[in-house]
Structure 1
Amino acid sequence: MKLGVYLDGSTVDSFVTHARLAEDAGLESVWVGDHLITASPRIDSVVALTAAAAATTRIKVGFGVLVVALRPVAWVAKQIATLQGLSGNRVLLGVGTGGDAHGDLGWRAAGVPFAERGKRTTAALKVLPDLVTGKPATVDGVEFALAPGAEMPPLIVAAGPGRLRRVARFGDEWFPAFSAPSWLAEQGKRLAELAAEHGRPAPGITVNISLAVGSVPSPVLDAQIRSLTGYGLTEAQAREAVVTGNPAQVAERLAAYADAGVGRIAAMPFTGNRAEQIELLGEVAGLLR
């Protein structure tokens, strides 16, 4: 089981420091979300991960997830190829459509129709591997190649259960969020069947987990449960998916995800000091080895 952590994407102050701390703690990867406009501040994901990659030597840098439809696909490919080169091929390319939870203001600000996000994401996934690796591709009727090319990073496609065909068609891995092991095991079987229809191997699974290591006051846990219901979960589903406890208890909970076919956890701490949470996750990672 590979274990990574989301860094605080609301401020630039500690981003690089925490990336170094995660590397020192033995975590596999650091992650950041990608939003243009939300209710709370969000730094730019590409620039932030570039800074994290430049400040570290081993740890992987992950998009959780990059909303490719907000940008021209050629620019996305150029940035990913550059980040691959700068990081020594440490990019984990999570890609998603952007959900309803954050609304359409960012899309309107970017001049991109919110209703077309699925269609635009699929179109981007068709050409991204060729564009990143420097091969000719056709976009909007124009054929071109980008240089310098780079090794294509693992493509980790976020999608709900009704959109698994996109993962099966394009993804090296699936990137669900806030999900319990039993549900993931069931959906993983369906995903493997869909991938076989496309003549592709079953994608791996990386899952985003809402997590807190250590003591969690009841009001803090209840507030987190309420926030997760904004992503379409029932309260019961949210309580089942949230992981809390001491390092040994958290490791036991995460081992259940491994048994369900999950190969990587991208932990999103929701309580306590982020630096402290990273250090505690390092203990969890040690127990999972």
Structure 2
Amino acid sequence: MGLEIGVILPTSTPDPSRPILGDVRESARFAEEIGLDSVWSTDHLIASAPMLDSTVVLATAAAVTERITVGFNVMLLALRPVAWAAKQVNTLQLVSGNRLVLGVGTGNPAHGDIGWRAAGVEFADRGRLTDEALKVLPDLIAGRPAVLADGLQAKLAPGSAVPPIVVAGNGKPAIRRAARYGDGWATIAMSPTEIRANLAQINKLASDHDRPPLKATVVAPQLDADPSRAADQLQAYAAAGTERVILAPSGDWRRDYEYAAKLRS
């Protein structure tokens, strides 16, 4: 099939009435043992439901595994000074043995603006700040000199390999952002037909920037409960240009992971 299959670590939930706060170590090890490709952590300072810090979660997952990819789904760059974000990313790369994928986004408005206000960031500025961060982030991660938005030149040490950067979002600014800065594009619950149409638009813009074509990461694809039928649906996603799917949590992470593993068999 050629598709990577990922799962969300049990550290957050979209449903405030059903917190999903499980054992990160146990779940990450189990995901690796049953052959899944990646584990992911979401990222908000204050959300509509309990949520752990994504960087600590991914460091924990990396520490108890050897092979599996660990990823931000997605890091909200605008919540942090970009140099701090880069330091977190390159440290995760170094301690994980270059197993990180960096999803980047501007946050789900459903969580409101309280987390942004608590971080001293204007909610309306998050898109601009994300673009400014992405301009310098690769150089900062790699330990190369970078000029920040205020004109300050900074260089982090040690540097690391720059992880794949997957830019999330469906709006026009996010599409432009993915085309200009992304190694991939992420979206939620789109159909294969929608994926194909959006990738055509993104890759036209990427070509205008002399950048290579992108593939999609689809979070929470709408799949049949029967693994054999779901596998057929995943073939359609792959044909549309999807490289990775990340399955949504249901509340029972072990059951979710076992279902995901069946899609690979």
Scaled to the shorter chain, the TM-score interval is: over 0.9
* TM-align CA RMSD: 1.2
Contact kept in structure 2, 1:6 and 1:269, CA below 8 Å? yes
Contact kept in structure 2, 1:159 and 1:166, CA below 8 Å? no
Contact kept in structure 2, 1:165 and 1:194, CA below 8 Å? yes
Equivalent position amino acid for 1:262 in 2: T
How far apart are 1:122 and its partner, in Å?
A: 0.1
Give the TM-score normalised by structure 2.
Answer: 0.93
Contact kept in structure 2, 1:205 and 1:262, CA below 8 Å? yes
Structure having the higher helix fraction is 1
Partner of 1:267 in structure 2?
A: 247
Q: Deviations over 1:13-55 (max 9, x none)?
A: 4111111111011111001110111121000000000000000
Please point out which of 250, 260, 265 is paired with 1:281. Answer: 260
Contact kept in structure 1, 2:7 and 2:38, CA below 8 Å? yes
Q: Deviations over 1:64-86 (max 9, x none)?
A: 00000000000000010000000
Please point out which of 199, 204, 218 is paired with 1:207. Answer: 218
How far apart are 1:12 and its partner, in Å?
A: 5.3
Partner of 1:6 in structure 2?
A: 8
Partner of 2:181 in structure 1?
A: 170
SS of the residue corresponding to residue 147 of structure 1 reads coil
Contact kept in structure 1, 2:10 and 2:22, CA below 8 Å? no
Partner Cα separation in structure 2 for residue 192 and residue 106 of structure 1? 33
Please point out which of 42, 50, 63 is paired with 1:54. Answer: 63
Partner of 1:225 in structure 2?
A: none
Q: Does 1:185 align with 2:210?
A: no
Equivalent position amino acid for 1:78 in 2: K
After superposing the two structures, state which structure 1 stretch, 6-15 or 111-120, moved more.
6-15
Q: Does 1:119 align with 2:128?
A: yes
Partner of 1:258 in structure 2?
A: 238
Partner Cα separation in structure 2 for residue 277 and residue 118 of structure 1? 33
How far apart are 1:159 and its partner, in Å?
A: 2.0
Q: Deviations over 1:169-228 (max 9, x none)?
A: 000000111111101101111111100000111112111125xxxxxxxxxxxxxxxxxx
SS of the residue corresponding to residue 38 of structure 1 reads coil
1:60-71 matches, within 5 Å, as: 60-71=69-80
How far apart are 1:56 and its partner, in Å?
A: 0.2
Equivalent position amino acid for 2:199 in 1: G
Q: Which runs of 5+ in 1 are unaligned?
A: 211-241
SS of the residue corresponding to residue 31 of structure 1 reads strand
Q: Deviations over 1:145-172 (max 9, x none)?
A: 0000000000000121412111110000
1:16-31 matches, within 5 Å, as: 16-31=25-40
Q: Deviations over 1:242-265 (max 9, x none)?
A: 223221121111111111110111
Q: Which runs of 5+ in 2 are unaligned?
A: 13-19
1:218-229 matches, within 5 Å, as: none
Q: Percent identity?
A: 46
Partner of 1:88 in structure 2?
A: 97
Partner Cα separation in structure 1 for residue 74 and residue 22 of structure 2? 21
Contact kept in structure 2, 1:32 and 1:65, CA below 8 Å? yes
Give the TM-score normalised by structure 1.
Answer: 0.85
Partner Cα separation in structure 2 for residue 37 and residue 255 of structure 1? 37
